[in-house]
Each structure stands twice: as C-alpha cells, then as structure tokens.
C-alpha cells in the first residue's frame, strides 16, 4: 500500500479547511499558500472531492471551498476512496473471481484479504476531526 501525494495533499486540504472555514468558504489560493502546494494541483484534487460530495464549492468574491459535513463525520477512508481508489496491498483481491487462476489454491490470499480489511477498517475509524485533534492512538502490533 502506498498513498500518493494526491491522497496526502487531500488530507492536508481537509485539515486546512476544517481549521479555517468558520461559517464561510475558503479560497483555494489561501490553502495553497498555507500548505505550500501548487494551486493547479490542488484544483485537480478538490474537483474530485467536490464530485464525490465531500466538499462544497461556491463561485464569486466570497467563494471557495468548505467541508460538506462536519469534520467528525468525514472519514479518511472516504477521502482515500476518492483520491486513491483502492489501497489494497495486492491487485488480485480487488479484481473479483477469475482474475487469478491460482485463487483456489493460493496460500497467501487470505492474508492479503485480512491486511486489506484491517486497512479499510482503520481508515473508516479515523475522521478528519481525529486528525485535527491529533487524536490518533499508537497501535501495537
């Protein structure tokens, strides 16, 4: 599993908006300056997040972007689903039956399924608000 820059920057966008939106919309140029990320690159990321319903946008002088829901109600899983697609450790567990002719005899398949489930469940348990509050506990394995 490797989270791309797009996924990492999306998290930074959400944290920035949650910290700065108040009751209004935040100009993406302000986010770009605070996060030191190209405005053009952020525009491509927020477009997917708006289409996916996690951000709202408004045009005009007081326009910009804001979270579509409370930060506590937006999970990291939702953000990654829109920016990363699958974070599965191996391709074969996302491709359904017929992808691998060895699936029936694969000794490692269930391990990969378990890893995928752990990642997805973890990202579903962490919200933007948790990140804001640095409310992420260290987990021992």
| Distance between CA atoms of residues 49 and 56, nearest Å | 9
- Please tell me the pTM assigned to this model: 0.88
Tell me the pLDDT of the chain (141 aa) as tens digits.
789 999 999 999 999 999 999 889 999 999 999 999 999 999 999 999 999 999 999 999 889 999 999 999 999 999 999 999 888 888 777 666 556 777 788 898 889 889 999 999 999 999 999 999 887 666 554
Architecture in CATH of 5-132: Orthogonal Bundle (1.10)
Q: Where are the domains of the chain?
A: 5-132
CB–CB of 74/54 below 8 Å?
A: yes
């Amino acid at each position: 599993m490797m989270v791309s820059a797009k996924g990492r920057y999306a998290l930074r966008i959400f944290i920035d908006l949650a910290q700065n939106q108040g009751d209004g919309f935040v100009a993406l140029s302000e986010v770009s300056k605070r996060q030191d990320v190209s405005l053009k690159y952020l525009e491509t990321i927020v477009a997917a997040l708006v289409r996916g319903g996690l951000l709202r946008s408004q045009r005009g002088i007081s326009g910009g972007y804001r979270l579509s829901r409370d930060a506590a109600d937006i999970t990291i899983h939702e953000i990654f689903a829109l920016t990363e697609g699958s974070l599965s450790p191996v391709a074969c567990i996302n491709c359904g039956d017929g992808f691998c002719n060895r699936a029936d005899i694969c000794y490692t398949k269930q391990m990969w399924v378990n890893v995928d489930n752990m990642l997805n469940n973890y990202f579903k348990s962490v919200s933007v608000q948790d990140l804001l509050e640095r409310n992420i506990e260290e987990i021992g394995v």
